[in-house]
Structure 1
Amino acid sequence: MTSAPQPRRSQSGIQVVAHRGASEDAPEHTLAAYRKAIEDGADALECDVRLTADGHLVCVHDRRVDRTSNGRGAVSALELADLAALDFGSWKDAPESPDWKDPSLTSVLTLERLLELVSDAGRRVDLAIETKHPTRWAGQVEERLLTLLGRFGLAAPPSPEESPVRIMSFSARSLHRVAAAAPAVPTVYLMQFATPRVRDGRLPAGSRIAGPGIRMVRSHPGVVERLRRAGHAVHVWTVNEPEDVELCVDLGVEAIITNRPGTVLSQLGRS
């Protein structure tokens, strides 16, 4: 049995991953959110990527931009210039929140710009990149993603254990494509439900790490033990409440993905 690659561990033993950046404090998937996460001390940043109509990878969770911008339409039907004209920050405004109006901090964020931010962080910050599916660009997302990672020297790490980047997806097919093209890049199979396969501690071919949601972990904590016994690291999303952080600590998971990296780090005694 081959053990899954482990994320770089913090002193507390758990890697704290900023979900879409410090997305409780700043608009998700914006430069503002990721800068805040780095300032908070997050060990890693999580992002979702989609392909624009003209072939750029952008950090947007939803299929459409309606929820997180002042525009409308599917990401895949819009060009980067169309997205760059939209405001991805003001939806977050609240009386007690900053006024997110600086377009340099809240315009659409490309994966390339996020990789540059990580490169300039002044310390190691890992990156967990989720491919979104289904998509009209079947296979092209993974191809463009690995090409871009290659430009930053990240597509062929010496070993999975040394890779600062991992690819995540709910799509086993997407992870299989990544594993076939870049076998040393770790892959995380995201899941919402404890299927019979998962309850037996098994993951789809090409998947190295288990990524269960916190609701599943709450309902089936024994699955975490079986996955780890089978040699898989476990990265849990999206963990925001103190009692859920404690549950993850008790279960010995390797990574916590959270909207509140600063708060979680404080709870773990790292602030």
Structure 2
Amino acid sequence: MTKKFLLYSSPVVLMFMSIALFEPWIYRTFITSSEINERLKGEHFDIIAHKGASGLAPENTLAAFEKAIEIGVDMIELDVRNTGDEEIIVFHDETLERTTNGTGLVHDYTLAELKELDAGSWFDPKFSDQKIPTIKEALDLINGRCKVLIEIKHMDHPHYHDFAEKLVDVIREEPNGYEWIILQSYDVEYIEEAHKYDDHVQTKKLMIGEDSAPLISFYVETKMHLGRAKEDDRMKALNPEFHTLSTRRVFRMHARGFEVYTYAPNTREDMVKMLHMGVDGIITDYPNILMDLRNEIEAL
């Protein structure tokens, strides 16, 4: 009886599994509108510049941050790492090759050595003057003109033993820094250390990080940690990759008390679809496109 049941039911099970797997694609392709219409009237969403306006200027540089501010974004997301002499810089990768003319591991170089590198020509020769900024230089430039989400990248290295505390010290030096600077990380150790050192600092634990595999993140990480997250008021945001979202999934996350900030839709069509799905904010390389959409929606 059991064997027959499994035999006859397996096609149905496979069908439902396929629907669940392809649910985001089905919503994006056949269900969700890509047009600005009355359903979006009054919709509030945050515009978050991914590594600054990184589609318009080299990522994580002062030029990208200034461009994002000119656009009028709500937040700038940036990444931080330590140098070999334990200075905090704004940089995404563990290695230098992708966004500079240097090679090797970031933490093998001193700040002075890193400051000699060209951090802009890879994007466009007109940005050849751009250098890797320190976190202090970046925050001094932004100066509270928008909020800042500082993403702490995990590193199993001695240089990072007091990384969270040093970041908090930088925040303390900024005028009203507690109000506009937020520390966030997928790795809970940094958030706990920062909060223990100074509970005035805003912190966020991201259950799904940018570097996570999207499907693994949604199906495994979310379900495993959802209960724990509800017990910790610092675990309040999810930032799944936009290809993993559907209207139903966003609704379920909201029902559990989470905000949903998706990354990184970079076309007008994908952004509009995410807004129709009800996300709270969009992390994008092209905040200028998203700002135009906001203006169109406000004009409805």
Between Structure 1 and Structure 2, the one with more helix by share is 2
Are the aligned partners of 2:65 and 2:142 in contact in 1 as well (CA < 8 Å)?
no
Which one of 51, 59, 74 corresponds to residue 20 of structure 1?
51
Deviations 1:184-232 (A, max 9, x none): 41304033311445248546454232222223225xx533222222222
Match in the other structure for 2:12 = none
Query: What SS is found at the alignment partner of 2:79?
Result: strand
Query: What SS is found at the alignment partner of 1:67?
Result: coil
User: CA separation of 1:142/1:265 partners in 2, compared to 1, >3 Å: closer, same or farther?
Assistant: same
Structure 1 unmatched ranges of 5 or more: 1-10, 158-162
Match in the other structure for 2:274 = 248
Are the aligned partners of 2:80 and 2:150 in contact in 1 as well (CA < 8 Å)?
yes
Match in the other structure for 2:66 = 35
Structure 2 unmatched ranges of 5 or more: 1-41
Are the aligned partners of 1:128 and 1:166 in contact in 2 as well (CA < 8 Å)?
yes
Matching of residue 99 in structure 1 with residue 126 in structure 2 = yes
Query: What SS is found at the alignment partner of 1:194?
Result: helix
- State the alpha-carbon separation in 2 of the partners of residues 133 and 80 from structure 1: 19
Query: What SS is found at the alignment partner of 1:108?
Result: coil
Are the aligned partners of 2:84 and 2:108 in contact in 1 as well (CA < 8 Å)?
yes
Match in the other structure for 1:209 = 237
Cα offset for 1:33? 0.9
Match in the other structure for 2:80 = 49
Deviations 1:59-103 (A, max 9, x none): 11000111111111211111110010000011112xxxx6222x2
Which one of 136, 140, 145 corresponds to residue 112 of structure 1?
136
Paired letter, 1:187: K
Are the aligned partners of 2:191 and 2:203 in contact in 1 as well (CA < 8 Å)?
no
- State the alpha-carbon separation in 2 of the partners of residues 50 and 248 from structure 1: 31
- State the alpha-carbon separation in 2 of the partners of residues 197 and 83 from structure 1: 36
- State the alpha-carbon separation in 1 of the partners of residues 252 and 227 from structure 2: 9
Match in the other structure for 1:198 = 222
TM-score, normalised by the number of residues in structure 2: 0.73
Matching of residue 61 in structure 1 with residue 92 in structure 2 = yes
Select the structure of larger CA radius of gyration: 2
Matches within 5 A, 1:211-226: 211-217=239-245, 221-226=247-252
Please, what is the CA RMSD of the aligned residues? 2.4
Are the aligned partners of 1:172 and 1:207 in contact in 2 as well (CA < 8 Å)?
no
Paired letter, 1:267: L
TM-score, normalised by the number of residues in structure 1: 0.80
Are the aligned partners of 1:40 and 1:262 in contact in 2 as well (CA < 8 Å)?
yes
Query: What SS is found at the alignment partner of 1:146?
Result: helix
